[in-house]
A and B are shown apart, each in its own frame.
Chain A
Amino acid sequence: MGTVDVVKVPGAISPFRARATVVSRRMQDIGLQVFHNKTAMAGLIILLFFTFLAVAAPLIAPYSPLTAVPDVGPLTLPGGVHPFGTNQFGYDIYSQVIWGTQISLLVGVLAAGVASVIGTAVGLISGFVGGWIDEVIMRFNDVVLSIPWLVLMIVVAARLNYLDLAGIILVIGLTGWSVTARVVRSQVLSLKERMFVERGRMIGSSNAHILLRHIFPNAFPLIFANTILTVAISILSESVLAFLNLSVKSNVSWGRIIAEAYQHDALTIGMAAWIIVPGLCIVFLVFGFYLFGYALDEILNPRLRRR
């Protein structure tokens, strides 16, 4: 049993205060565990680095990413003020890479958010309600899952000729919810049988109450860890779409940079950094999310039940 500071408790405890105290204690507990977990910290450091890049891009990028630089011409080799050189339009590649972080993170997180929300809702309802509704939803899910995600995404994106940021987020989100739904549903199915849910029914809780207060909070750790991993996938998806010129055209994306580098045979003309650096960025960002998500899963889902 852990030691607990006796909380100063006034006479009345509002339900809000009860929940707030519980949540803050839990957050503190988790924070400490993350701090001591090497994998989590490694992932977190990577993520913080890229977040910094994204947020501070306007400040730290020396040039604008979509404006031709004044001092040198297009396709300049790396050197001096332009560590990675300039691309075919004379844009500074180094600045492009820094600005590209924004798109990747933004699209990645938001698209994962969309996919997660939809997938969680579907999984919760399907798993909890069961019956023919569950069957129908799962068969639909099977259909979505059986289509190769990449192909599906490309087809959808290609059909919609005009794609803004919201559009691309929705495309990725709406094609990526199936796995989350499956995962959440199986978790709900096992939670439904737990004794404390039975107790909830016994005291007369409505189904909505059980779903919100018993099932969801216990499924949440899994959902959260799953979301982090979905972010990784979303970032990859966006990069792929950008590479195929299906992403947002007005912004700079790592995938787009790689595409342009590829088109201009960057490796042979001595501009290896053009193609390699954005690639490495994608790899590291995804890796960061994986590390963090994996460690968080370990922390939030203790396998050992303490007795």
Chain B
Amino acid sequence: MRAVDGVDLDIRRGEVFCLVGESGCGKTSTGKAILKLVEATDGDILLEMPEGEARAYEDVRQRPDDPEARKTLDGLRRKYSVTWKESLPWTVEQALKSAGAFLAAVFLAIVAPSLLLAAVVEPFGDPWSTIGLCVSIGLILGLIGSLPPTRLSRRTRVILTLLALGSIIVAPISALSLHRALVGDVSRFDVGAALATPWTQELAAMLVGFAFGAIAAGGSSSLLLDWRSRSEGMAGIHMRSIRRRLQLIFQDPYESLNPKQSVYEIVSEPLAVNRISTNPGETSALVREALTDVGLRPPEEFLFRFPHELSGGQRQRVSIAAALVLQPDFIVADEPVSMLDVSIRTEILQVMMELRTRRGITYLFITHDLSLAWVLADRIAVMYLGKIVEMGTTEQVIGHPMHPYTKALISVVPSPDPRHKVERIILKGERPDPSDIPPGCRFHPRCPFAFERCGWTAEEVADQLRSLKAGGMLATASGVDLSDAGNVRLSMGGGGPDALVRELNALVSERRETLLPLKGIAAVHATNGFVELSLHASSEPPLLEIEPGNSVACHLVSPPATVSESLTA
């Protein structure tokens, strides 16, 4: 079931982009997918791609079969996509490196600790338990070493290298001291003489194990980690930094806060989780600043309150503060005010807009309330059943809607001013289940302007004919079925087909404007005892740019030449 199907959105920095639609249209899923709360099945989320490269991306997207285009696409994705995962082909060099790393890891895990402990084995007694212990320790170390890092910093790599280097120098000395301690030698330690003395077997083994193990550890983990970072593009390693810049404000101010946490903990949590500031002074300052920015003044009064001690508006402000504290560039707001009282909504919206000017935040506003989109948004995209049907600036989409769904939707939005009464286009029926999406244009079953190309299926036409028959028409037909070829077939009760053919033709020409499925009928002909109806070819209307910045997905507005024909059934 595709909740969202091939949605393209371009959101410019600093703008308020509204995604509107009714329930089940996929707007919330889109918003969450951008923040990777929901895994996108396919597609790219591209962050901060410059104009030139954006055009290149669009270009190469059109040519999926061109290998040159593929390479460019992969390159662009590697640089800018948050969701890209690359699968690199294996070269000989990489294979050898990986094999070496694997062997080194095995050595580290099993052999080195065994050698180490074998050198000091006497105190342990039972050899099997010693080996068992070695192997367990080795495996644990190996497991820890192979876990994907949640946060790899330069610091970690540097530490690993230093450890490797240091152990080469430190290991012999500590090994020697240990050995001397074990044999009860308390004489003075002459490093030079020690290093020159021929070593015992155990000592050598210990030393080799230590040094080799340490180098192997540093080297292999470095290689393994490096391999991973190449294959995950911007994601994986850098998701942490991405998360800072993209945030979400949830719809329900009552549910989205942990009832057991105080306001301070809620707002400081993102900082702690992302290890951004560990210093309590810095954290408190950032929390206070965030609370002040959302209008909770003085912040001290709210720091230790629980969510249930706050009003709805205050809770939503805390939500926003928690999103702000990471200094994001981009905030997805999922119906942030729909659960608040009307007189409080404006305050929250004002806070959000003020933050936009002050902190330069870009918003993706998801809402079902078109009047809110009208006053807030710079640009709007209207969604229906997982697809964008119209997109453009607010004036274009709401002032001069072109898609029939948009027109209908706008017409039924009530106004607080009773003088602004309009002719309402009330669509019949309800939106279909997302698991059963109509073919052709998804909106065609409810569209008051649907015509031939919009995707009338044989079932729809058949249903229409059946209800006509139940109302007394088509008396000479005994049944309406679907043929194997997918056309509509009427079986004859008695008498010739000609009368039926005439009746059908008359029906189609007279009643097609009121009984829209009839428009799907292309031709009526009689064939071996049946009357068959062939249907028009239909296709899904693509989202085309009609005017600069304004795109519509509707056959009524797109020129026929650009529509690729595909036969139904």
Contact = CB atoms under 8 A, between A and B. Distances in A.
Please say whether the chains A and B touch (CB closer than 8 A).
yes
Interface of A: 1-2, 4, 6-7, 9, 11-15, 18-19, 21-22, 25-26, 194-196, 198-206, 209, 213-214, 217-218, 220, 305-307
Taking each of B270, B279, B326, which has the highest tally of chain A beta carbons within 10 Å of its own beta carbon?
A: B270
Given A14-B280, A195-B250, A202-B248, A9 B262 contact: no
Given A14-B280, A196-B256, A218-B258, A2 B309 contact: yes
Contact of A11 (B265, B281, B311): B281
Nearest to B274: A204
Given A21-B262, A196-B257, A13 B300 contact: no
Contacts of B274: 203-204
B260 interface: yes
16 contacts: A1-B311, A4-B304, A4-B309, A18-B268, A21-B262, A22-B261, A195-B255, A196-B258, A199-B256, A200-B258, A200-B269, A200-B273, A202-B247, A204-B240, A214-B258, A217-B261
A7 B300 contact: yes
A201 B252 contact: no
A4 B260 contact: no
A25 B256 CA distance: 22
Contacts of B270: 203-204
A77 to B, nearest CB: 58
Given A2-B309, A4-B309, A21-B262, A9 B248 contact: no
A229 B83 CA distance: 49
A264 to B, nearest CB: 54
A142 to B, nearest CB: 31
Interface string B196-214: 0000000000000000000
Interface string B257-285: 11111101100111011100001110111
A12 B256 contact: no
A305 B254 contact: yes
B310 interface: yes
A255 B319 CA distance: 56
Contacts of A15: 268, 272, 280, 283
Contact of A217 (B258, B305, B311): B258
Contacts of B301: 4, 6
Given A18-B265, A18-B268, 14 more contacts: A6-B301, A7-B303, A9-B300, A15-B283, A18-B262, A21-B304, A22-B265, A26-B260, A195-B250, A196-B255, A202-B35, A203-B269, A213-B261, A217-B260
Interface of B: 35, 37, 150, 239-240, 243, 247-248, 250, 252, 254-262, 264-265, 268-270, 272-274, 279-281, 283-285, 300-301, 303-306, 308-312, 322, 326
Nearest to B311: A1
A25 B281 CA distance: 23
A7 to B, nearest CB: 5
B273 A205 contact: yes
Contacts of B269: 200, 203, 205, 213
Contacts of A194: 255
Contacts of A14: 280
A306 B91 CA distance: 62
B156 to A, nearest CB: 17
A90 B371 CA distance: 90
A14 B326 CA distance: 19
Nearest to A1: B309
Contacts of B281: 11-12
A11 B311 CA distance: 26
B150 A206 contact: yes
A99 to B, nearest CB: 41
Nearest to B262: A22
A15 B269 CA distance: 10
A194 B307 CA distance: 15
A203 B326 contact: yes
Contacts of B243: 202-204
Nearest to B258: A196
A4 B268 CA distance: 21
Contacts of B309: 1-2, 4
Contacts of A12: 279-281, 283-284
A233 to B, nearest CB: 27
Contacts of A209: 273
B260 A218 contact: yes
B234 to A, nearest CB: 15
B307 to A, nearest CB: 9
Contacts of A206: 150, 273
B258 A204 contact: no
B254 A307 contact: yes
B308 to A, nearest CB: 5
- Closest 5 CB pairs between A and B? A12-B281, A195-B255, A217-B260, A203-B270, A12-B280
A9 B300 CA distance: 7
A192 B15 CA distance: 34
A202 B242 CA distance: 11
A210 B418 CA distance: 50
A204 B151 CA distance: 11
B304 A7 contact: yes
Taking each of A200, A203, A206, which has the highest tally of chain B beta carbons within 10 Å of its own beta carbon?
A: A203
Contacts of B312: 307
B396 to A, nearest CB: 32
B227 to A, nearest CB: 23
A200 B243 CA distance: 12
Contacts of A26: 260
A209 B285 CA distance: 23
A42 B37 CA distance: 48
Contacts of B250: 195, 198-199
A201 B248 CA distance: 11
B246 to A, nearest CB: 9
Nearest to B323: A203
Nearest to A194: B255
A75 to B, nearest CB: 57
Nearest to A215: B258
A6 B284 contact: no
A156 to B, nearest CB: 29
A18 B264 contact: yes
Contacts of B248: 199, 202
A293 to B, nearest CB: 20
A21 to B, nearest CB: 5
Nearest to B248: A202
A199 to B, nearest CB: 5
B284 A195 contact: no
B381 to A, nearest CB: 22
A115 to B, nearest CB: 24
A1 B296 CA distance: 15
Nearest to B269: A203
A198 B252 contact: no
B258 A13 contact: no
A306 B310 CA distance: 10
A6 B262 contact: no
B245 to A, nearest CB: 12
B327 to A, nearest CB: 13
B264 A13 contact: yes
Contacts of A306: 308
